[in-house]
Amino acid sequence: MITKAQYEDSRKKLLDAFSRAGIVLTEEEKNNVEVADFGLNELDDIGLELVTYVNTNKVCSKEMLLFAGQICPEHRHPSLEGRDGKEETFRCRAGQVYLYVEGEATVNPKGKVPEKRKDSFTVWHEIVLNPGEQYTLYPNTLHWFQGGPDGAIISEFSTRSMDEADIFTDPDIQRAPVVE
């Protein structure tokens, strides 16, 4: 759970970062910023700030912000209700994103995880995304990502998002944000 002050501070950071990057939001989008702390109340280390533009039965588009070093924790998008899990493409708009997926582990990864949660990060094949670069994740691919030294703005283009069905490696995680 995060406090109203934490929510407002994170929302302001998102709006400022998007403005600097030339990303224009409607008033409705500004009022619907999601701040996800994943139920851990460790927002500086593990969290994600985002705006969902559209999420229909077929497509989804989001704009996400990671603070410097902030992590969206390891998870996958499983099949649900007879539908394949989410396929998503991340496109880095600003900053740098360290994306980790299944595959051969990178010897000296740039990403760093909190010591107390290190057992909840099992995939270490690193893909570094700089502005203009993108990567596509297929359904049920275990992955996590982290903002670089200056944070990151990431556009997500995907099939239908059913975040409530995501399976996280860390059993302490609760996907739905709760604001005090």
Asked if residue 80 is part of any domain, the answer here is yes
* pLDDT tops 80 at residue 66: yes
Tell me the residue range of the domain where 20 lies.
4-168
Of 23, 67, 24, the residue nearest 42 (C-alpha):
67
Q: What is the CATH number of the domain that holds 103?
A: 2.60.120.10
Tell me which of 36-40, 66-70, 93-97, 120-124 is least confident: 36-40
pLDDT above 90 as % of the chain: 90
* pLDDT tops 80 at residue 178: no
Asked if residue 23 is part of any domain, the answer here is yes
Of 74, 131, 47, the residue nearest 97 (C-alpha):
131
What pTM value is reported for the model? 0.95
pLDDT at 180: 76
Asked if residue 145 is part of any domain, the answer here is yes
Asked if residue 88 is part of any domain, the answer here is yes
pLDDT at 132: 98
pLDDT at 177: 65
110-160 residue pLDDT tens: 999 999 999 999 999 999 999 999 999 999 999 999 999 999 999 999 999
Assign 176 a pLDDT band (cuts: 50, 70, 90): low
Of 49, 176, 36, 46, the residue nearest 120 (C-alpha):
46
DSSP-assigned beta bridge partners for residue 2? 179
- Distance (Å, rounded) from C-alpha 69 to C-alpha 152? 9
pLDDT at 175: 72
Sign of CA dihedral 154, 159, 165, 167: negative
Asked if residue 176 is part of any domain, the answer here is no
Asked if residue 48 is part of any domain, the answer here is yes
Q: Which whole number is the average pLDDT over 38-48?
A: 94
Residues 6+ apart with CB under 8 A from 30: 15
pLDDT at 142: 98
pLDDT above 70 as % of the chain: 98
Asked if residue 22 is part of any domain, the answer here is yes
CA dihedral 150, 10, 92, 143 (to 10 degrees): 100
Asked if residue 143 is part of any domain, the answer here is yes
What's the total number of domains in the chain?
1
- Distance (Å, rounded) from C-alpha 133 to C-alpha 151? 15
